[in-house]
């Protein structure tokens, strides 16, 4: 397996690990290079009016979940817009 295939598999695993978050991550892109996960796009509060969810706190939890995925060396989320 090449390094490129490993990165694709790791990005897919990372996406699956955050799929259960209560946030709307439909506009979030997850990519991987050399074991480092990069997030870009938008994160919003869940649709349906669940106003008691702290988007910032849940996004921090999401980053922690990603960092705990086996093979992930780091998580970069500087290019993510968080909408409360």
- Per DSSP, the three-state class of 41 is strand
- For residue 68, pLDDT over 90 is answered with yes
Token representation of residue 54: 């702290």
Stretch 50-72: mean pLDDT: 89
Token representation of residue 44: 């919003």
Domains identified in the chain and CATH numbers: 3-83 (3.30.1340)
- Spatial separation of the C-alpha atoms in residues 21 and 23, rounded to whole Å: 5
Q: Say what the pLDDT of residue 52 is.
A: 74
Q: Which residue has better confidence, 50 or 10?
A: 10
Can you give the pTM of this predicted structure?
Answer: 0.89
Q: Say what the pLDDT of residue 10 is.
A: 95
- For residue 75, pLDDT over 70 is answered with yes
């Amino acid at each position: 397996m090449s390094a490129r295939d490993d990165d694709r598999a790791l990005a897919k695993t990372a996406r699956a690990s955050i799929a259960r978050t209560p946030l709307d991550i439909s506009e979030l892109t997850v990519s991987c290079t050399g074991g480092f996960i990069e997030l870009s796009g938008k994160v919003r509060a869940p649709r349906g009016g669940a106003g008691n969810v702290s988007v910032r706190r849940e996004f921090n939890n999401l980053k922690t979940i990603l960092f705990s995925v086996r093979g992930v060396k780091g998580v970069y989320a500087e290019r993510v817009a968080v909408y409360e």
